[in-house]
């Protein structure tokens, strides 16, 4: 794997315990204090353990927390845009070991507590806004942070269970590849340049256009949907996965395409989250990262291309993964194909664009998204889901 991009921070973390060590940890946890994780914390624990959050090997201490909030860097100087913390209601003794339990009650990991500090929720909430006065108490990411507990535990973790709900609809075991595994797959295929596509929605024609453009300049493409915690109203992960496999089977070259899932929780932090998503894909072995319009945005908190522009402020030598910045793409009736503002003039009434909200409304009424927006095979999957839901 020498030809692949270096992980962020220089070393790919692996905190997954083998079966013998997992048995030891389960026995030890019976006599340890218990921390019940939220869904976001459970996702973060898995991302740390599998190396997706390299160079982190545990939940952040206070110095890193403050540095990340204020400078988008770890104390090592490495770029890192979002705090990864473990907030709890009651502090525990420094030096203690605690069992970390997933929301379904399964022991997910064990942690050595190296530090306990007050959770500055007001400081953390600032990461979602360009200016403090933008905080209107409505942003879902900021709301979630302000509702978290008042103390943070920091320290290294050991992962007991990679997937805490192997029978659940969001497990996707066949597609749940760790960064070590995707790197092995890319090396086996002889890829040295790989573009990653982040999504939390079904792939429509504009997304497909971005992916195909990336495939023209890279050896391969990683379609990497986020299947961790998302906000209410998003299309369920199992339906989205059916859409992804359907469009790949019908419209992508399988030898040049890998589908895997990223078990991260959404923060809806816009530009900062775009950076996090890029760094995570760097750890998975990707050299390029597709950044479209309003990446990881919510509501009207961010400008259309803020998530692209923020990359201009970063140290490229530390970032290393190259952002592929795409403008808004849509189907042009005159061109009879997908276009963007860079490739085709804007003509009144020419382009067909539907927002995700509009598509969900159409599906709710049993209406089929037009072929210019969604491939018919994908529309079939969505109509079937919408019919059962409604």
Q: Is 205 a catalytic residue?
A: no
The closest alpha carbon to 144, from 276, 268, 301, 237, belongs to 268
The closest alpha carbon to 119, from 152, 155, 90, 84, belongs to 152
The single residue listed with the structure tokens 């990683």 is 222
Q: Would you say 175 and 260 are in contact if contact means Cβ atoms under 8 Å apart?
A: yes
What whole-number distance in Å separates Cα of residue 237 and Cα of residue 229?
10
Element housing 211 (H / E): helix 205-217
What whole-number distance in Å separates Cα of residue 146 and Cα of residue 317?
34
Q: Would you say 82 and 273 are in contact if contact means Cβ atoms under 8 Å apart?
A: yes
What whole-number distance in Å separates Cα of residue 173 and Cα of residue 261?
9
Catalytically annotated residue among 14, 21, 26, 201: 201
Count of alpha carbons within 13 Å of 187, Cβ hemisphere only?
13
List of long-range contacts for 361-367, beta carbons under 8 Å, 24+ apart: 364/390, 366/390
The closest alpha carbon to 267, from 171, 148, 142, belongs to 142
Catalytically annotated residue among 200, 281, 360, 375: 200
At residue 69, the 3 state secondary structure works out as: helix
Q: Is 200 a catalytic residue?
A: yes
Instruction: Provide DSSP, 329-364.
Output: EEEETTTTEEEETTTS---TTTEE---HHHHHHHHH
What whole-number distance in Å separates Cα of residue 330 and Cα of residue 349?
12
Q: What residues act catalytically? A: 200-201
């Amino acid at each position: 794997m020498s030809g692949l991009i270096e992980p962020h921070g220089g070393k790919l973390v692996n905190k997954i315990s083998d079966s013998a060590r997992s048995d030891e940890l389960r026995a030890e946890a019976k006599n340890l204090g218990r921390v019940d994780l939220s869904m976001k914390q459970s996702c973060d624990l898995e991302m740390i353990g599998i190396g997706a959050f390299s160079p982190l090997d545990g939940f952040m201490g206070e110095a890193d927390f403050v540095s990340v909030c204020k400078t988008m860097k770890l104390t090592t100087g490495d770029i890192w845009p979002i705090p990864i913390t473990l907030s709890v209601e009651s502090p525990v003794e420094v030096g203690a070991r605690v069992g970390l339990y997933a929301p379904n009650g399964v022991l997910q990991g064990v942690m050595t507590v190296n530090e306990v500090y007050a959770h500055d929720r007001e400081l953390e909430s600032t990461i979602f806004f360009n200016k403090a006065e933008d905080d209107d108490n409505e942003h879902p990411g900021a709301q979630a942070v302000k509702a978290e507990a008042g103390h943070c535990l920091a320290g290294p973790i050991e992962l007991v269970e990679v997937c805490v709900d192997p029978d659940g609809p969001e497990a996707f075991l066949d597609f749940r590849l760790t960064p070590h595994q995707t790197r092995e797959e890319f090396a086996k295929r002889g890829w040295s340049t790989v573009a990653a596509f982040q999504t939390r929605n079904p792939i429509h024609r504009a997304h497909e256009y971005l992916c195909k453009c990336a495939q023209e300049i890279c050896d391969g493409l990683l379609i990497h949907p986020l299947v961790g915690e998302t906000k209410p109203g998003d299309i369920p992960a199992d339906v989205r996965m059916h859409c992804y496999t359907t469009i790949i089977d019908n419209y992508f070259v399988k030898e040049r395409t890998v589908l895997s899932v990223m078990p991260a929780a959404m923060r809806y932090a816009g530009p900062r989250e775009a950076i996090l998503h890029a760094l995570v894909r760097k750890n998975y072995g990707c050299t390029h990262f597709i950044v479209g319009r309003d990446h990881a945005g919510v509501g009207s908190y961010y400008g259309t291309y803020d998530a692209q522009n923020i990359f201009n402020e970063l140290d490229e030598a530390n970032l290393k993964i190259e952002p592929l910045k795409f403008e808004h793409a849509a189907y042009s009736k005159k061109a009879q194909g997908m276009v963007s503002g860079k490739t085709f003039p804007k003509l009144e009434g020419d382009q067909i664009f539907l927002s995700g909200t509009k598509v969900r409304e159409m599906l709710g009424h049993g209406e089929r998204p037009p072929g210019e927006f969604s491939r018919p095979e994908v529309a079939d999957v969505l109509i079937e889901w919408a019919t059962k839901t409604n």
